[in-house]
Structure 1
Amino acid sequence: MNEQEQLEESRARVIEVISQNMGLYGVTPSIGRLYCLLFFSEKPLTLDEMKEELGMSKASMSNAVRALLDLNMVEKTWVKGVRKDLYVASDNPHQRFFDYFTTKWRHATMTNTNAIEKTTDELKNLLDDPDTSEEVKAKAEVDVAKLKDWQEYYDWLDRLIHTFETKEILDFVPLHKEEQEKR
């Protein structure tokens, strides 16, 4: 095996593993392969170049690029004299993770917290209503207690998300292993 083949085989290994794990970011393996293509590319690529390299349709390629742009995994770039849009892989994986984690978890936390608060209020109204049967009141009290535990969990999760948004998490888990070892 010559050195070019070794290089390609090494890259193919990483591309395969990364693309299979892109579900963590909510995208398909083909979008993961596109990201890796841009990651290993020595120059910005156009949609046509990416389409040709991966054998995807132009519509699929456009949707894939849009998904990667939304995840801040890919950026548009400009090169003098080139009229077509060019794309490169984002060079800040930590920020990508922070953005994705905080966006997804913040949304889920807010949605769940709102549902819990609304449900708790409704259950408390049942408990306060003199016409509510004792059987329903007993069940509502159990539900309110369970929902209180969930609310405490979402309060904790909200604080955790905040540490990612403010980068305070880096005080506990630095970006570089050497920084952690110095502590």
Structure 2
Amino acid sequence: MSQNDKEAKEAVDQAKDIVIESLGETMDLYGVTRSVGNLYGTMYFEDSMTLDEMREKLKMSKPSMSTGVKKLQEFDIVKQSFRRGSRKQTFVAEKNFFSFFNKFFTQKWEREVKFNLEAIKEAQPILEDVINTEDVSQEIRNEAQSINAQLEYSKAYYYWLEQLVEGIRSGKIFEVFPPDQNKNQDY
């Protein structure tokens, strides 16, 4: 390999590393460890990878790679693939960020809706008992009423979030906010 090719290859690897680090940091913001995010980013630039290839690229243990791949499979952003002539399992990452967005974020938002609506459903009867108990001070009853009203108001957000998830899953969101494939500008 010529010196120019070596330098060019290093520049390409540096550019990939910048994006991999960014993907890892972004996924970390949403509760996926940075190492799993870096794994996704690394796989994003490859056609398919075995656990051994992942381990070699990321210098992590094979069990860590396996755990990371399983986590990414739970979000349906990594799938097992077939590589002719290989007995080892290979995996491929979702390359389409619209599909990634759909799969990754909708699962996170559905979980948020489920947990919070269940918590509200459990908390409101407790608050209503306090509100309806006459031998409790008006101050405590007012606090219970205020909290109950806050919870009731918050339900609108969770119902809206359910609609957003459905809009993303069905593709209707792209009717309102169509992706501009020709827009390549610096931000």
TM-score, with normalisation over the residues of structure 1? Answer: 0.82
Gaps in structure 1 of 5+ consecutive residues: none
Answering whether residue 150 of structure 2 is matched by residue 146 of structure 1, we say: yes
Instruction: Measure, in 2, the Cα distance between the counterparts of 1:101 and 1:20.
Output: 15
> C-alpha distance in 2, partners of 1:29/1:11?
16
Partner of 1:68: 72
Q: CA RMSD in A?
A: 2.3
1:19 aligns with 2:24: yes
Deviates more, 1:167-176 or 1:2-11: 2-11
Counterparts of 1:171 and 1:160, CA distance in 2:
13
1:5 aligns with 2:13: no
Aligned with 1:81: secondary structure? Answer: coil
Residues 1:29 and 2:18 are matched in the alignment: no
The one of 140, 153, 159 aligned to 2:163: 159
Specify whether residues 10 and 134 from structure 1 end up closer, same or farther in structure 2 by C-alpha distance, changes over 3 A only.
closer
Cα deviation, 1:31-89, whole Å, max 9, x if unaligned, reads 23322222222x42211122122211111111111122222222111122211101122
Structure 2: tracts of 5 or more residues without a match = none
Which letter does structure 2 place at the counterpart of 1:159? Answer: Q
TM-score by length of 2: 0.81
Matches within 5 A, 1:1-183: 2-41=7-46, 43-177=47-181
The sequence identity of aligned pairs, in percent, is 33
CA-to-aligned-CA distance 1:128-149 (integer Å, 9 cap, x gap): 3444443433332222222221
